[in-house]
């Protein structure tokens, strides 16, 4: 039996616990250490997950028992934390987005490539069983030419945000709700509809306090010629997810409350599609562990994550300048 991948978790926010909980659901990974600057958070995490609290990141990297880092630090320190880890020969699982700009995204990818360490990105939404099912049907040709898609990812954050958190500040999360959660569905739209060529974006701050957009909309032009739309919100009354995918010969409807349905050309109403619920967090983490042990490369690595970031960055620039922005422009200049 292959030994579990020994990891250290850095950045003790609420998302670190989401990933640590997933690690506890697999025997492929073991948390051996944790680090954050806050002693209280560090000790609480260590007690909860049975690992060693470490006050200094350099000490984590010097620990030969640590093979890889699970990184949920703020976006603007992804580069220095990853660069230091790569120099120490530690593999990196980095939650999305890869960075706040393309230049840093490329730098993160390159330092890992040069060091020969695995870089895996946390894009778990594409792994949901309903999207996997739709992807297989598209690849099998049963949708015909893909023409359009519409997506919505909304959450209720009223009265629930901490304005001192980097996640809700324009400096720490430029683009607000679209960079924080909307990027999951720009990824799914790319996964199902193909690469995105150009973006028109509109951003608004309507309900939440602070200086960052809580509502955002994108119109996405895919390289295939298909169009898609994405709405993301932190100002909604409830949590909601929707993804409708339209092909010439079939349409897939997915939403949080009604699951997945399929309507073929010539049919009067959609039929429910039963798909098993899967543990997307465990899947992506186990894939990372397998890659470190010499298995296939992770499905989402640094090059793709940088392109994914560029889509949202194009939307931000479009909203600011009131024009359509080519993703290639962002990849060249950001």
Q: Give the CATH superfamily of 125-278+309-333.
A: Dihydrodipicolinate Reductase; domain 2 (3.30.360.10)
Whether the pLDDT of residue 198 is over 80: the answer is yes
Whether the pLDDT of residue 88 is over 90: the answer is yes
Closest CA to 120 of 81, 68, 183: 68
Closest CA to 323 of 196, 200, 198: 200
Per-residue confidence at 152, pLDDT binned at 50, 70, 90?
very high
* Fold exhibited by the domain 5-124+282-298: Rossmann fold (3.40.50)
Per-residue confidence at 172, pLDDT binned at 50, 70, 90?
low
191-227 b/e with 16+ CB inside 10 Å = b? Answer: bbbbebbbbbbebebeebeeebbbbbbbbbbbeeebe
Whether the pLDDT of residue 327 is over 70: the answer is yes
Whether the pLDDT of residue 222 is over 70: the answer is yes
Q: pLDDT value at position 158?
A: 78
Asked whether the beta carbons of 15 and 26 are under 8 A apart, the reply is no
Q: Where do the domains of the chain lie?
A: 5-124+282-298, 125-278+309-333
CA–CA separation, 173 vs 17, rounded Å? 20
Centroid of chain to Cα 207: 24
Average pLDDT for 169-174: 72
CA–CA separation, 29 vs 6, rounded Å? 6
Q: pLDDT value at position 159?
A: 67
Q: Using the 8-state DSSP alphabet, how is residue 304 labeled?
A: H
For the entire predicted model, the pTM comes to 0.95
Average pLDDT over the chain, rounded to an integer: 95
Q: pLDDT value at position 166?
A: 64
CA–CA separation, 239 vs 245, rounded Å? 20
Model confidence over 280-300: pLDDT tens digits?
A: 999 999 999 999 999 999 999
SS3 144: coil
List residues bridging with 228 in a β-sheet. 149, 220
Whether the pLDDT of residue 3 is over 70: the answer is yes
Q: pLDDT value at position 133?
A: 98
- Which of 177-181, 226-230, 312-316 is predicted least confidently? 177-181
Percentage of the chain beyond pLDDT 90 is 89
Q: pLDDT value at position 1?
A: 61
Model confidence over 32-75: pLDDT tens digits?
A: 999 999 999 999 999 999 999 999 999 999 999 999 999 999 99
Listed in sequence order, the DSSP H helices in the chain are 14-24, 39-49, 57-62, 78-87, 102-115, 129-139, 177, 183-193, 280-292, 302-321, 327-333
Q: pLDDT value at position 305?
A: 98
CA–CA separation, 323 vs 315, rounded Å? 10
Average pLDDT for 217-231: 98
Whether the pLDDT of residue 139 is over 80: the answer is yes
Q: pLDDT value at position 209?
A: 81
């Amino acid at each position: 039996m292959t030994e579990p991948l020994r990891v250290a978790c850095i950045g003790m926010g609420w998302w670190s616990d989401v990933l640590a909980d997933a690690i506890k659901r697999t025997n492929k990974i073991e948390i051996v250490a944790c680090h954050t600057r806050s002693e209280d958070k560090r000790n609480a995490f260590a007690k909860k997950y049975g690992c060693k609290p470490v006050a200094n990141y350099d000490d984590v990297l010097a620990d030969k028992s640590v093979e890889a880092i699970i990184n949920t630090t703020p976006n603007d320190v992804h580069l220095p934390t990853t660069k230091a880890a790569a120099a120490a020969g530690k593999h990196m699982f980095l939650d999305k987005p890869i960075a706040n700009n393309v230049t840093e995204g490329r730098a993160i990818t390159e330092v890992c490539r040069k060091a020969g360490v695995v870089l895996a990105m946390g894009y778990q939404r594409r792994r949901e069983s309903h999207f996997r099912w739709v992807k297989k049907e598209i690849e099998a040709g049963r949708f015909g030419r893909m023409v359009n898609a519409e997506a919505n990812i909304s959450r209720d954050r009223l009265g629930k945000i901490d304005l001192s958190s980097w996640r809700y500040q324009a400096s720490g999360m430029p683009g607000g709700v679209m960079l924080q959660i909307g990027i999951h569905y720009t990824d799914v739209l790319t996964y199902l509809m193909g690469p995105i060529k150009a973006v028109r974006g509109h951003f608004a701050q309507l309900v939440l306090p602070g200086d960052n957009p809580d509502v955002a909309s994108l119109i996405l032009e895919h390289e295939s010629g298909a169009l898609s739309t994405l709405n993301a919100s932190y100002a909604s009354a409830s949590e909601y997810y929707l993804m409708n995918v339209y092909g010439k010969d079939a349409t897939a409807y997915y939403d949080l409350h009604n699951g997945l349905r399929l309507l073929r050309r010539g049919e009067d109403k959609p039929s429910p599609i039963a798909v098993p619920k899967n543990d997307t967090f465990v899947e992506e983490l186990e894939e990372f562990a397998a890659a470190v042990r010499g298995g296939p490369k992770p499905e989402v690595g640094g090059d793709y994550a940088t392109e994914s970031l560029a889509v949202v960055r194009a939307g931000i620039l479009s909203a600011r300048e009131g024009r359509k922005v080519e993703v290639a422009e962002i990849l060249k200049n950001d």
